């Protein structure tokens, strides 16, 4: 965990990412296929609400705001 915290801290210092408010209701979106997708769709809905994209390596997220990173 210490290594992960250090890596995240270094990333934030180096890249200066933009943070968006966590202002989406967790169950506001509809997930038709699986409980496992609730978090994925929550993040995609949050990105979409702020006119952003969710970059993911997960090929299973079928959402207009999700883009697959290869």
d(CA 30, CA 52): 19
Work out the number of other CB atoms within 10 angstroms of the CB of residue 49.
14
Residue 24 belongs to what domain range?
Answer: 2-68
pLDDT given at position 28: 64
Collapse the DSSP code of 56 into the 3-class scheme (helix H, G, I; strand E, B; otherwise coil) and give the result: strand
The pLDDT tens digits for 2-60 are: 999 999 999 999 999 989 999 987 766 666 566 778 888 889 999 999 999 999 999 98
Residue 66 makes CB contacts below 8 A (sequence gap 6+) with 40, 44, 47, 53, 54, 56, 58
Q: Supply the DSSP symbol for 45.
A: H
pLDDT for 63 beyond 90 = yes
Q: Provide the number of structural domains found in the chain.
A: 1
- Scanning the chain, the segments in alpha helix (DSSP H) are 2-15, 38-49
């Amino acid at each position: 965990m210490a290594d992960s915290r250090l890596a995240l801290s270094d990333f934030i210092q180096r890249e200066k990412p933009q943070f968006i408010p966590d202002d989406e209701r967790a169950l506001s979106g509809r997930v038709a296929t699986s409980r496992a997708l609730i978090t994925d769709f929550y993040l995609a809905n949050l990105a979409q609400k702020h006119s952003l994209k969710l970059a993911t390596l997960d090929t299973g997220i079928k959402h207009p705001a999700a883009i697959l990173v290869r």
